[in-house]
Structure formats: C-alpha cells, structure tokens
Homo-oligomer: A and B are copies of this chain.
C-alpha cells in the first residue's frame, strides 16, 4: 500500500497520496504545484481517482482543479456551500468506497464552518479506523486557529471546534493515525509540534483540546492572537475558481544588472538571501524576505498584482522563490538579477549596508546609552515573554505603523532568531531610518544568555 505525506516547506502544509487498492489512489489537500503527485502516481502505477478537500484552504492555492483536469479525478468535499464547485459532496457520516478502502466524511467545523475530517478504513486493518485526515481541525499538539471566519467569534468557534474534536474525531479510537493538513511552521496554528507522527491516543494525553476544559480551551484560543497574512483573502477567492497551473521558473526573466536596475523601478525588489548577507550588501530599495519565509511573509509586502524583481543566491533558490510566491497565488515575478548582488557590485552599481548585532552587545548598549529595541514577533509571542524596555510591533504591520522616532535614532530590531527582524530592518531602511541593527539570534539567544525577560504588560505595547 503506497502512502506518503508531502510537506510544503514554508507553509507547514501537509498533503497526502494514499493508495487504496486495485491501483487506485486519492490525493488529500493538494497544493498548486501538482507535479509531485503525478510523479508519485506514475512511479507507483497508481490511477488518481479522487481528490479530497478537508476545507477551503486559505493559506495556499489549491491544486485540486488542475489535478482533476489532468487526471480525470473527481474532487470530493463536504456539503457546505463554502466548498464551491466540487464533484462529490459527502454528507456527515457518508462513505466513499475506493478500491478496497472506505473513506468516511465527518463534519468537524470550528476552524472554518465547512471543515471536514476523512476517516479511513483499510481492508487489512479490520474494523477499526486506520487513520484520519483531519485538515485543520486537529494538528499534532495543537488545533487550527478559530479567528479566521470572524475574529469577534474566536471563542465561540473554539467551542465548536472543541466539540468537533470530542464528538467526531475522538471516538475513532486511540489507535487512529493522525494526518492533519499542517505541521510545524504553519500560519494556521502557532504551537504545532515539529513531530509529524502521532495517533489520537497520543494526542489524548497532551493536546490542549483534550487536556483543557471547553472554556479553558476557548480562552486559550482568544489569547493566542496570530496575525492574518493578507493573501488569505485572495486565496479564499482563488480556491473557489477553476484553478491555475503553476507558472514555470523559465518564465522569469534573467535580467543583467543594468537591465535589472532599469526595470526594478516598475515594481518591488525582494531579496531572498539570508539576513546576514543582506545586511552586508544590498540594493537600496530592496525588501529582505529570507527564502523559507516567502510563503508566510511575502503577502505583507506584495500582492498578486505587484511586479516583483528578485535577488537570490543562485538558480535553485530562484526556482524555490518563484514556486513559493506561486503557492500563495503570486505569479508576477518579472525578473531575477543575473549573478546576484556579486555581479551587481562588480559592475559598480550602488550597494548599501545595515547593522547586525548580538544579544550580549545589545544588553551592553542598553546599559550605556540611548537605544530603541523593537520586537516584531507575533502578539502571542510577545505576550509570553519579551525584553524589558522593548516595544512591540508585528513585522506585518510595521510599514503602516513606523516608529515615531528620528530617522537617525539607533534602533535594534529582533524577533525570535533573526529572520523576521531581517524583514523589519529592510522596511525601516527603506523608510529612511539610518541606524538600524538586526539582533541576530533574537530573543532565543537573549534567553540562552540568561538575560532578563518580562511577561506581557500590554502597557508597553506600541500602537
């Protein structure tokens, strides 16, 4: 029986291909770039016959429609109208027979109203449920966020989700293998375990949705505020449409430095190199979004209409960047700088620099002079712990809420380890702040040094 989890880096997304016997296979929650599913099907002599959607994904563009068109497979969903045009709509408890396998749909709302879990029963695994594709209802160590449909109803939806897990999923039994739509690093849940393999029995003893009471759980969800990346809105629209094949990296033009310089003014320059490399030399107007951060961070800067000009380390990184943008629905990467910053600077084109610093040095600076420390992590992270004397502004809101400081103020920016602060310092730089430092290692290094920390006191927060 062929079965494989496909992880999408940067999105923390899991999709699955499940062989169901008799040469038939289903795909669960496919991403937009469907090549890998097709490749695995070919390699394993499988005919893809169904595509299961657990819910209308909001954090990435679905590949269901494209995959259905290429393979002739039918798209399967629950009955809720938010699913849009799918081919087979299963009612709660309704079963789909595929080869020797039975797949039962269970309505598990809470993360979103339409969310469905698919419980899988295999011929050779007897009467018990073998595994469950839980979508964003139940993760390993966490559950899907419940603020997306309506932030005001976060707590109410948390209760609905709690009930879905307890009434629909838990009864499948401790032996059930857990196959959620997201793992660690997703914008759909803040505390997902970085472990992939779990069972309902394991979750039963550790996951907050099991360990806490219904009201405690709702309180937790209300407290755990996560920002909502702007592309979620676009994805919700696009995922109701017929689907779009992925643009090829070949369509991104290789622009020689002077051509790049000329054309970059028509759009935005996004530099996907590391914060270190960016700090030491970059094009003046560039944003810095580290490569793995593109799916999560890019939509705070660009949308599906922005012309994007890329600065990358090499051709592999370019391909990954173009694919990462496309996965969140942004197909407008116009060109990439040939030879990167190295070739740019060899041609005598202007480069700029930024400061980097360390936790120890910042602590020292704080003792001896005037300094602004800006924490750009998510609100729930700030609430857990932060550096005394720092101010907070989530990186995604920074460009619209620039610090009310003189442009030559000394500003140290940090996040957890240094990536999001890399985005932030590039934003501050673009807006004329001249003395900005990225505190590499972030609050993680700060804590490792045993330097002092506060817990949340919202009075400190900058508005």
Chain B residue with minimal CB distance to A274? B277
A248 contacts B175, C-beta separation under 8 Å:
no
Name A250-300 residues within 8 Å CB distance of B.
250-251, 253-256, 259, 274-277, 279-281
Select A353's contact among B196, B250, B357, beta carbons within 8 Å. Answer: B357
Stretch at the interface among A40-48, A81-89, A228-236, A374-382: A40-48
Select A124's contact among B200, B206, B447, beta carbons within 8 Å. Answer: B206
List 10 A-B pairs, minimum CB-CB distance, nearest first: A175-B201, A348-B448, A38-B250, A276-B280, A345-B441, A42-B315, A45-B338, A23-B256, A1-B195, A126-B205
Assembled-state Cα–Cα distance A259/B122 (Å): 23
In the complex, A198 has a CB within 8 A of chain B: yes
What would 5 more interface pairs be, CB under 8 Å, given A1-B193, A47-B254, A175-B202? A3-B197, A24-B256, A42-B318, A280-B280, A348-B444
Name A103-134 residues within 8 Å CB distance of B.
122, 124-128, 130-131
Copies in the complex: 4
In the complex, A174 has a CB within 8 A of chain B: yes
B41 contacts A254, C-beta separation under 8 Å:
yes
Find chain B residues with CB under 8 A from A94 CB. Answer: none
Find chain B residues with CB under 8 A from A319 CB. Answer: 42
In the complex, A35 has a CB within 8 A of chain B: yes
Known: A23-B256, A205-B126, A346-B417. A356 touches B353 (CB 8 A): yes
A interface, CB within 8 angstroms of B: 1, 3, 22-24, 34-35, 38-39, 41-43, 45-48, 70-72, 122, 124-128, 130-131, 141, 173-177, 193-202, 204-206, 248-251, 253-256, 259, 274-277, 279-281, 314-315, 318-319, 336, 338-343, 345-351, 353, 356-360, 417-418, 440-442, 444-450
Chain A binding surface, main DSSP class: mixed
Chain B residue with minimal CB distance to A207? B126
Assembled-state Cα–Cα distance A314/B336 (Å): 23
Chain B residue with minimal CB distance to A122? B195
Known: A348-B359, A440-B281. A250 touches B70 (CB 8 A): yes
Chain B residue with minimal CB distance to A205? B126
Return A25 CB to nearest CB of chain B, in Å: 9
Assembled-state Cα–Cα distance A448/B364 (Å): 41
Find chain B residues with CB under 8 A from A41 CB. Answer: 254
Select A131's contact among B43, B197, B440, beta carbons within 8 Å. Answer: B197
B204 contacts A175, C-beta separation under 8 Å:
yes
Chain B residue with minimal CB distance to A257? B23
Find chain B residues with CB under 8 A from A3 CB. Answer: 195-197
Find chain B residues with CB under 8 A from A194 CB. Answer: 1
Find chain B residues with CB under 8 A from A198 CB. Answer: 125, 130
A70 contacts B251, C-beta separation under 8 Å:
yes
Known: A281-B276, A445-B346. A126 touches B202 (CB 8 A): yes
Return A192 CB to nearest CB of chain B, in Å: 11
